[in-house]
Chain A
Amino acid sequence: MEEINPLINMIVFGAFVAVTLFIVFRVSRRKATENEFYAAGRSFSGRQNGVAIAGDYLSAASFLGICGAIAVAGYDGFLYSIGFLVAWLVALLLVAELLRNTGRFTMADVLSFRLKQRPVRMAAALATLAVCFFYLVAQMAGAGGLVALLMGFEGTLATSITIAVVGILMIVYVIVGGMKGTTWVQIIKAVLLIAGAGIMTLIVLFMVQFDFNELLARAVEASPEGEAILAPGLKYTNPVDFLSLGLALVLGTAGLPHVLMRFYTVPSAREARRSVVWAIWLIGIFYLFTLVLGFGAGALVGPETIREAPGGENAAAPLLALALGGPVLMAVISAIAFATILAVVAGLAITAATSFAHDIYASIIKRGDVQPGAEVKVARITVVVIGVIAILGGILAQNQNVAFLVALAFAVAASANLPTIIYSLFWRRFNTGGALWSMYGGLIACVLLIVLSPVVSGRETSIFPDADFAIFPLANPGIVSIPLAFVLGVIGTLVTKQSADHAVKQAEMEVRSFTGAGAEKASDH
């Protein structure tokens, strides 16, 4: 693609980095308390947090991936986006407010509220770190893969350098700005992403005189698959595998630790509710944009051109921008795609660091006996460690097909986290045994099934194409691991004994979750 002008791309991207860094430094506090560093002093409004949630959730896979999938495979890309949206109803109806009322900083706070502190907190922290790790490596490797496409760089060295730059920026944002800085990065990114996609959608619709049928007609004409793009079946050929993926998407979102942590940045459950309502509207409208952009890219750029471009399907949205508005619009859209990755990885990094510092270091290792400020210091050091691991993981994985890692993160969230969240909030009898069985069972089942799946071995596209130990036929473990984790929660509860203070702690959590009595308040400093 000679049309790429790396200079314009770099200028636009550089401007984004400069503005966000400026804001992050302005909101930073050297001596941040835990409340400030982990939860931004619970000072964001529901609307701000809703925008930040959209910024946290809409990853490059949502934008470039879904546009590309619709451009090439038509309907199946759209099918994929719907799971990501409907999932938010689980968060809205069952999780957001009750969780805001009972926790302080992390998912483990809620899960260990009425159960045996140390073992449950450990399990929840491990599940948190696993989800963050899978998601982070996927994002980092993806960031590298986008370089050839967006900046016109090629080769392993250039890709590795870009991954390192993304990692270093992530570390700076989180160390300096804490949750407040990270949230502002996510807000700015969400506004840019949704506005950018919205403008492109308007241009596409304008070109077909706002006749969606005409757009579909042109996409069908441009596609070698013809009318098949209007119906399911081109991308997801195994319906059981897709059902498995769909379950993980719809039940996983409300168990994603970086999403859950966002509910602590608002002052009350009512604001948490408002955040989710805002997030659902923004995310839903964004996915409607991607429907137009995907078919628009199919119609105006053509699936064959997209497939042959560096970056493949991911090139659909930038190439559409080039077709619509020339190199400048393409530069803007490319820079937004990068901003998207940065905001998502920053959210993951602060979540993982909080979980390590608050759950593992302060609560488990130090048993709650920590000097003021020590916890935040540990969190900041953890961010650096996580950043280095993410950079190395991203560099190692850059030539692998890592799309499965995102699906795996959702499957782990749906199997290891969601059953225990639901049971501790709604099932009075649920106890420590049930939580441990369900969390470890769900986590191990997911990872084991992926290792034994065609993703890892047995096919040409596998990580180890020469070996074959794929005894599990599906690429997505959810259909087995999610029901299994729910069942293990019940069995574990029934076969283990309740602790002596079970009824009291349960009553305390239930009253607090439903009424909000004693919930963490905003701190005004």
Chain B
Amino acid sequence: MPDSDPIAERSLQMQASPEFQRLRSRFMRFIVPLTVLFLAWYLAYVLIAGFAPDFFATRLGDSYITVGLLFGLAQFVSTFAITMLYSRWANRVYDRDAEPLREQMEHAAMVGGR
């Protein structure tokens, strides 16, 4: 490996730069609540299934569809919804913000003579 200090220095600089800080905190602000939300929702589902099965056994009217079945299908719906929400956000917002920073890092790498 040639002298690796330039990458190290650039990385430290980049990490400290307001643009990068903004990118990272934007990512965290989007991801963390969403993660807490889906984990809590899944945990709630498993706990109800385990400790309150009678609630899940409740039938809707005189059909054979139960509350538990609807909750289960709702897990599918929420998973698909979060997937699309994240993918739209990442494609439109995150990539747009991250791209210039990547170019900046890689451009500096070329100028830096590596």
Query: Are the CB atoms of A518 and B109 closer together than 8 Å?
Result: yes
On chain A, the residues within 8 Å of B45 by CB distance are 82
Q: Which of B39, B91, B95, B102 has the most CB of A within 10 A?
A: B102
On chain B, the residues within 8 Å of A230 by CB distance are 57, 59, 64, 66, 68-69
Give the distance to chain A from B107, nearest Cβ to Cβ, in Å.
10
Give the distance to chain B from A90, nearest Cβ to Cβ, in Å.
7
In the complex, besides A280-B79, A284-B80, 11 extra interface pairs with C-beta distance below 8 angstroms are: A78-B72, A79-B46, A85-B79, A86-B42, A231-B57, A243-B46, A507-B15, A508-B7, A514-B27, A515-B20, A518-B106
Q: Which of B7, B51, B59, B91 has the most CB of A within 10 A?
A: B7
Is B98 part of the contact surface with A, judged by Cβ < 8 Å?
A: yes
Is B8 part of the contact surface with A, judged by Cβ < 8 Å?
A: yes
Query: Are the CB atoms of B98 and A514 closer together than 8 Å?
Result: yes
In the complex, which residues 56-89 of chain B have their Cβ closer than 8 Å to any Cβ of chain A? 56-57, 59, 63-66, 68-69, 72, 75-76, 79-80, 82-84, 86-87
Is A158 part of the contact surface with B, judged by Cβ < 8 Å?
A: no
Is A396 part of the contact surface with B, judged by Cβ < 8 Å?
A: no
Query: Are the CB atoms of B79 and A89 closer together than 8 Å?
Result: yes
List 11 A–B pairs whose Cβ atoms lie within 8 Å, in order of A's numbering: A82-B75, A82-B76, A227-B64, A232-B68, A236-B50, A284-B76, A288-B76, A511-B11, A514-B101, A515-B101, A518-B109
Is A451 part of the contact surface with B, judged by Cβ < 8 Å?
A: no
Query: Are the CB atoms of B102 and A516 closer together than 8 Å?
Result: yes
A227, A242, A517: the one contacting B50 at CB < 8 Å is A242
On chain A, the residues within 8 Å of B87 by CB distance are 92, 273-274, 277
B12, B51, B65, B109: the one contacting A212 at CB < 8 Å is B65
Query: Are the CB atoms of A240 and B79 closer together than 8 Å?
Result: no
Give the distance to chain A from B10, nearest Cβ to Cβ, in Å.
8
On chain A, the residues within 8 Å of B11 by CB distance are 504, 507-508, 510-512
On chain A, the residues within 8 Å of B84 by CB distance are 277
On chain A, the residues within 8 Å of B54 by CB distance are 231
Give the distance to chain B from A418, nearest Cβ to Cβ, in Å.
12
Give CA–CA (A43, B101) in the complex, Å: 25
Query: Are the CB atoms of B105 and A86 closer together than 8 Å?
Result: no
A79, A212, A426, A510: the one contacting B49 at CB < 8 Å is A79
Give the distance to chain A from B5, nearest Cβ to Cβ, in Å.
9
A93-B35 contact, Cβ under 8 Å, with A82-B72, A232-B50, A515-B105: yes
B49, B50, B83: the one contacting A277 at CB < 8 Å is B83
Residue in chain B with minimal CB distance to A216 = B64
On chain B, the residues within 8 Å of A75 by CB distance are 56, 66, 68-69, 72
Is B34 part of the contact surface with A, judged by Cβ < 8 Å?
A: yes
Contact residues on B (Cβ < 8 Å of other chain), bracket = 35 or more
Give CA–CA (A246, B72) in the complex, Å: 14
Query: Are the CB atoms of A515 and B102 closer together than 8 Å?
Result: yes
Give CA–CA (A270, B43) in the complex, Å: 30
Is A213 part of the contact surface with B, judged by Cβ < 8 Å?
A: yes
Give CA–CA (A230, B59) in the complex, Å: 9
Q: Which of B49, B54, B72, B105 has the most CB of A within 10 A?
A: B49
Query: Are the CB atoms of A515 and B15 closer together than 8 Å?
Result: no
Is A130 part of the contact surface with B, judged by Cβ < 8 Å?
A: no
On chain B, the residues within 8 Å of A250 by CB distance are 39, 42
A92-B83 contact, Cβ under 8 Å, with A515-B98, A516-B102: yes
Query: Are the CB atoms of B31 and A94 closer together than 8 Å?
Result: yes
Query: Are the CB atoms of A246 and B46 closer together than 8 Å?
Result: yes
Query: Are the CB atoms of A89 and B68 closer together than 8 Å?
Result: no
Residue in chain A with minimal CB distance to B105 = A517
A85, A94, A512, A515: the one contacting B76 at CB < 8 Å is A85
